[in-house]
Amino acid sequence: MVDWAAVRSLRAWLAWTCLQLCCLPEPGESSTRLLAATIGRAVPELPDLTVVAEAFHAALAGRPIVAATAPGPLAVRGTPAELAALVGRHVTAIAQRGKFLAIDLDPDRIVVNPMLTGRFQLARPEEKLPTKTAVVISFGPRSGAPKRTAPWTRRAGWLPADDATVEVRYRDPTQMGKVYLLPAGVERSVPGFADDELGPDADDPGLTLDIWRQRIRRHPGELKNLLKNQGFVAGIGNAYSDEVLHAARLLPFRKRSDLAPEEVDALHAATRSTLVSAIDVLRRRVPPTFEKQVRDFLAVHDKGGTACPRCGTRISEVKPGGFVTSFCRGCQR
């Protein structure tokens, strides 16, 4: 019989080893520091994926797939035949859901979970392929742009012409992320993506204050873990949980059960304002290099030792499990 516990342990060890090998330091650099930086900064979260989804929908909706290849097949969940069968399918929509990117086709679907190190590139076919590219999907000409697009994408200089061929490259140095092929009629689970596994997106207008109050009662524990719990609200990870808690003036290790009603409300308001502000910044600064992670504008995350922009106290930083948690002892309670 197969020892599935041993298999899972081996997979976890291989993923960790791969992450370390892909993050080897330059001469004179600390490998520990570089690895911690990779874990702390790299993870795409809701603001990052919202911008990618909005841009890719504007660029690709209505186009047919003309080629699909997997230079890094370990990242693909699906068969070579299913990948080849994507050719001829037309894109109907591209959207972000939690920490996933969903590409809807007629009639199939592709769902990408970039995990720690997955990145997306929009490029002309003649541009050099980045190293560690796992999947390449080429899209042909279309008759016209989709009617419904994010206003900031309209007439953008980076948009490919409707008569051009364009590629999406999914690059993942560790291949920890996964590209799920979901042909119509094929049952294939996407871990973490089911409706009963994901709460509402953290910036969903339907997540009203009343619904927030109801949902938060079901989730005990520390506030940072609460915000990162995709079953509570979807899309927030390590970086933006720090930012939300700083905006709400709450310490990451406070217990949800300790919050006063006004603090629960403040956390809701901070979640909305932080994500809206971040998306606005990323819309201006990310295109056309959609694989780029922009985090330098954040108030506290990964800025240990610098002055808090609100009160001037030196920002504290801890790294439980290698993941950076940053907060201000001066103005967070």
Q: Please write the tens of the pLDDT for every residue from 25-62.
A: 333 333 333 333 333 345 899 999 999 999 999 999 99
Under the banding of pLDDT at 50, 70 and 90, the label for residue 186 is: very high
Residue 73 lies in a domain: yes
CATH number at residue 162: 3.20.190.10
Q: Within this chain, do residues 100 and 221 fall inside the same structural domain, yes or no?
A: no
Token pair recorded at residue 122: 């929009």
**Same domain flag for 174 and 228:** no
Mean pLDDT of 299-317: 98
pLDDT for residue 1 is more than 70? no
The pLDDT value recorded for residue 42 is 59
Residue 289 and residue 213 in one domain: yes
The answer on pLDDT for 18 being more than 80 is no
- For residue 167, being part of any structural domain is answered with yes
pLDDT at 89: 98
pLDDT digits (tens, 9 = 90+) for 7-16: 343 343 344 3
Average confidence (pLDDT) over 260-278? 98
Examine residue 24 and state whether it is found in any structural domain, yes or no. no
Q: Which residues of 198-231 are buried (b: 16+ CB within 10 A; e: fewer)?
A: bbbbbbeeebeeeebeebbeeeeeebbebbbebe
By CB atoms closer than 10 A (0-12, 13-18, 19+), residue 232 is: buried
Question: What distance in Å separates the CA atoms of residue 5 and residue 307, rounded to the nearest whole number?
Answer: 46
Nearest C-alpha neighbor of 230 from the set 109, 93, 115: 115
Give the Å distances, CA to CA, from 243 to 65, 66, 277, 320, 332: 38, 41, 11, 17, 11
pLDDT in tens, 109-147: 999 999 999 999 999 999 999 999 999 999 999 999 999
Q: Are residues 56 and 104 in the same domain?
A: yes
Instruction: For 240-249, write each residue's pLDDT tens digit.
Output: 999 999 999 9
Phi first, then psi: give them for residue 229, nearest 5 degrees. -75, 110
Looking at the fold, whether 176 and 216 belong to one and the same domain comes out as no
Q: What is the pTM of this model?
A: 0.87
| pLDDT given at position 234 | 98
Could you check whether the bond before residue 252 is cis, i.e. omega within 30 degrees of 0? no
Return d(Cα 274, Cα 253) in angstroms, integer: 19
> CA end-to-end span of the chain, whole Å?
52
Query: Strands 76-77, 178-182: parallel, antiparallel or unpaired by DSSP?
Result: parallel
Is residue 30 a part of any domain in this protein? no
pLDDT-based confidence at residue 310 (cuts at 50, 70, 90): very high
22 domain residue, yes or no: no
Average pLDDT over residues 175-186: 96
Closest CA to 286 of 91, 113, 150, 109: 150
Of 88, 15, 20, 47, which Cα lies nearest the Cα of 278?
Answer: 47
Alpha helices in 170-325 (DSSP H): 209-216, 223-228, 238-248, 261-285
What pLDDT, on the 0 to 100 scale, is given for residue 3? 45
Residue 254 has phi, psi (to 5 degrees) of: -65, 150
DSSP 242-265: HHHHHHHT--TT-BGGG--HHHHH
Question: For residue 135, what are its two tokens?
Answer: 């999947």
What is the tally of structural domains in the chain? 2
Mean pLDDT of all residues belonging to the chain: 89
Picking from 55, 70, 66, 111, the residue whose alpha carbon sits closest to that of residue 89 is 66
Which pLDDT belongs to residue 322? 84
- Answer yes or no: is pLDDT of 154 > 50: yes
Which are the contacts of 221, defined by CB distance < 8 A and separation ≥ 6?
A: 255, 256
CA–CA distance, 282 with 280 (Å, rounded to integer):
6
What does DSSP say about strands 178-182 and 109-113: parallel, antiparallel, or unpaired? antiparallel
Distance, CA of 15 to CA of 214 (rounded, Å): 37
- Domain extent, residue 141, equals 46-182
Q: Are residues 150 and 234 in the same domain?
A: no
Q: What percent of the chain has pLDDT over 70?
A: 87
| Res 36: pLDDT | 31
Instruction: Reply yes or no on whether the pLDDT at 24 is more than 50.
Output: no
Residue linked to tokens 């560790």: 174
Question: Does residue 254 share a domain with residue 294?
Answer: yes
Domain assignment present for 1:
no
- Over residues 92-100, mean pLDDT: 98
Q: Residue 113 has which token pair? A: 């979970």
